Every structure is written in structure tokens, then in C-alpha cells.
Amino acid sequence: MTQLPLQAVLFDMDGTLVDTERLWWEAVERVAAERGRPLGETDHPEVLGRPVEHTADWLAGRTGAPAGELAAALHREFADRVRGGIVPRPGALALLDALARERIPIALVTASPRAVADTVLEALGAGRFAVSVTADDTAHTKPAPDPYLAACRALGVDSAGCVAVEDTPTGVTSAEAAGCAVLAVPSLVTIGAAPGRTVLGSLEEATPELLRSLPPHRLRVMSWNLWLGGSKVDDHRAKQLKTVLETGVDVVALQETGGTAAEELAEALGWHHHRAGENLGVISRYPITARFGDPEVGFYGAAGVRLRIGPGREIDVWTAHLHYTPYGPYEAAFDGLGAAELIAHEGVRLAQMRDTLRRIGESAEEGVPLVLAGDFNCPSHLDRTEIDWPVTRAAEEAGLRDSFREAHPDPAAHPGHTWSPIHPVHEDGSGRPEPQDRIDYVLHRGLVVLDSRTHVSGTPRPWPDVFGNDWPSDHAAVITTFAVHRRG
């Protein structure tokens, strides 16, 4: 696992770089008081970090005044205060200068309108900023992710490699939704620490070195059914090792290990491993600090580990193998069963998934992200939308996200089939085409997906002429690259 380099720093304006958040609050207080509606601290969430239009609509509902009239009044009051003097926040100019010396790109991302932002940019020095995004530049402003995503596009950078500097919960929500790490420097409202979020009392405490430490680490996770340990293919262990090394994965969730594959692979790689029963295992280049599930699990079931992947960074990784029969794609393609019958026949796998989710819930720890990878032996409700496949739906309802579909939302353009690279036709000799489906998964909770893909080495010969294949499995593997943030 390697840390993503810092690609850019994206600064909020009001209350972060300049002391205008208080000016904005005072402007709203004035407009509200003139219309008989005094404000208090409980009103902060509707004012601080919010665009003019949001606060105007909110005030309209409380004063009865037209929203358009209120928006114009808010613009006038705030602009008058801004013109009266812009005061940089402590440490702001020094940090901007330090970033410039180190050639780290800087953007301004604000919920204020362009007219106000340009006034502030002139005072701070517009040349300090490679890009500026205002409330006028995106269809939706904070707390939506649009402004930060627009800034990243304009800079040509990945949001996962950027740090957003914010002072309000609204801005933090926007930046985190865009996938940025966050440095929070609260001005008027308290902001708590969280994974991917660092909280300081002042920009005077911030340095380029600190900002470089905030982007997440990159973690590459593979789910791989080894096909009875790989025993159908010659020299299978060496081919498995070659795959792990060539793909650069950090963790592999294994199914059908043949009992000894996890231990043997880990020993050859110098990695850590966990073996559960005769079928499941996890190998990892990072230390295993806890083991979860039944160590004597049968051929089907699930097992998990907790990995320490760096200071303040842990992750739970579970591997699961669900029963293969009855197999829904066969029943749909060969037997002509309809949606209701197909769903009803998922009972065994659904019970196994629910048991897995229960065990995950029992071992989960707040703030520790989760990966559940494995061979579920069923399609996804995200792929075959005419059938609400219950196994993947249950995982989604438990808060798990499908990393491959996050990276590739269109199943027609990116089907991601994992069954089967060696079965173009059904193996019963009938010559019927084998249904090709995505039945292997890398699900997650609490992570950011950078990339996800299926993997097969070479061009495997079809069954039964598989002994000399470079690819020692009957499934394609799934490899997802995640961004892993520090715990808050």
C-alpha cells in the first residue's frame, strides 16, 4: 500500500482564508432583524457555509418576505461589509506562500457568488490560485460535492489526492462527498474529527508537510476463487504467485483454497495469512491483528481479519463463499424460470449472506472500514435489474457498496463477468452457451473506490483442455483499488 501524493490544496474562502464568515453572519442577522426575526446560534446550520439563495429561501419561510427580495438584501449587506475590509485568517497568507514555494497547486472553492469571490481574490492576490469555483459556476453548491469536483476537473487532478481546507460542517460535507481529505479549521461552529478529516485550531498550525500526510493510502484488494486450490492446472501454485506479484495487490480474499493455499502463498510471499476451514483464507502484506468468524467453517461460509495497514489505519477484510446450487443463471437460461421463482430459490445463499452480515456486525468497530469479498454464486440486482436478486440486495441494505459497479455504473458497457473464462459452452455436452455472469464481488463500507476491474492472465483454453492454462482458475478475479483514510 502506498500513499497517494498530494496533488492540490482546495481552500474554502469565507471563514477559512478570510474572516468573512462572521461578516456573512452579521449580514444575515441584520436582514433578519429588520424583518422581525432575530437569529441565534441554533440558526447557524442554515446560514454558515450556505449560499445566499439557501439562506434567503430559509428566511422567506420564517419572515414571509419574498426570497428574491431577501437575496438582494443579503447580497447588499454582505458586499458592504466585504468592501469595508477583508481580514485574512491567522496563518492563511503564510500557508498560501509556503504551498506556492513548493509548487503545490491551489484552488479557491466557495459558496459565495462570483462578484464577492473576485473582490476577495483581488485582496489576497488572484495569482495565488490556479482555479476558482464559486456558487455561480456549478448547478449545485455546497453541501453538494459539485464545487470540489469542478475544481478537480479544472486542475486535472483526482479528488482522492487533494486536501480541502474548510471551516464549516456544510463545507466539510461537500469536500468529503467529492472524495477529498479534509483539513478542518472551525471558525464559528465546532467540527468533530472523523476518518479522512483532521481538525486544527488555526491555519497557523498547518504546513505543507502536514497537508502531504493527509491524502489516503492506496490499498488493492483481490477476490479470487482458486478452483479447488488450483489443482486442475499444472504448476498452479507458481502461477498463483505470479498473478499476485504481477497485479500488485496488497490483500487477497481466497475461496476454494484446497486447505493449504493461503499458508503456502503467504509463506512464499513473506506475507501474513489466515486460514478458516478447508476452503477460505486471507493473505495480506500487512499484519493481521484480529481474526473473525468460525475457524472451522465448512466449505461454504465466511471468515474475516483485521489488518493494520499503517499508523491510524486499520481495515476489516472478510472472504465469503456461498453455495453454488441451485444456480439462478442456469434456471433462467435453461429452465425458463421467472423472477419470483428465481428469487425464491436464493434462500440458502440469502441465509448464508445474512449469517455473514451478522458476524460482521458483531466484530465491527466504529471507524474501521470494511471489505467483504467473495464468490457469491449469484448475479447482482445492480446488473440484472429485472430481477431483484436478494443476496446482493441484503448486502446493500446492510450498508455495503459494490466497488465494481461504483467504478463502472453501466452493466451493459462493463458487464464484469467472472463466470467463466473457461466455460464458453455448458459442460454437459449439449453445446448450449454458458451464461456469463458477474458472481464474484468486492463490496465495501467506509472506503473510496479508485478503480475496480476483473483479471484473467493470458487467454485460457476452454474446459476440459485446461491443464496447461496460465490462468489457474475457472473464475476471473476481481481487483479493487481503494483509498484508505486515517481514522479521525
What pLDDT, on the 0 to 100 scale, is given for residue 488? 56
**Which amino acid is it at 4?**
L
pLDDT in tens, 115-159: 788 888 988 889 999 999 999 999 999 999 999 999 999 999 999
Catalytic (active site) residue 167: no
Written as nine digits, the cell of 256 is 476454494
Exposed, middle or buried: residue 212 (CB in 10 Å: 0-12, 13-18, 19+)?
A: middle
Q: With bands split at pLDDT 50, 70 and 90, how would you rate the model's confidence at 455?
A: very high
Give pLDDT, residue 474.
Answer: 98
> In angstroms, rounded to a whole number, what is the distance separating the alpha carbons of residues 195 and 367?
7
Q: Which of 14, 146, 167, 437 is catalytic?
A: 14
User: Residue 201, exposed/middle/buried by CB under 10 A (0-12, 13-18, 19+)?
Assistant: exposed
CA distances from 31 to 20, 64, 295 (A): 16, 13, 66
- The answer, yes or no, to whether residue 194 has pLDDT greater than 90, is no
- Angle formed by the axes of helices 390-397 and 347-363, to 10°? 20
Q: What is the pTM of this model?
A: 0.75
Please list, residue by residue across 173-191, b when 16 or more beta carbons sit within 10 angstroms of its beta carbon and e when fewer do.
bbbbbbbbbbbbbbbbbeb
451 is catalytic: no
In tens, the pLDDT along 421-438 reads 999 999 988 999 999 999
Residues 343-367 pLDDT 10s: 999 999 999 999 999 999 999 998 8
Q: Pairing state of beta strands 217-225 and 2-3?
A: antiparallel
Residue 188's pLDDT is 79
Nearest-10 Cα torsion for 47, 50, 52, 57: -70
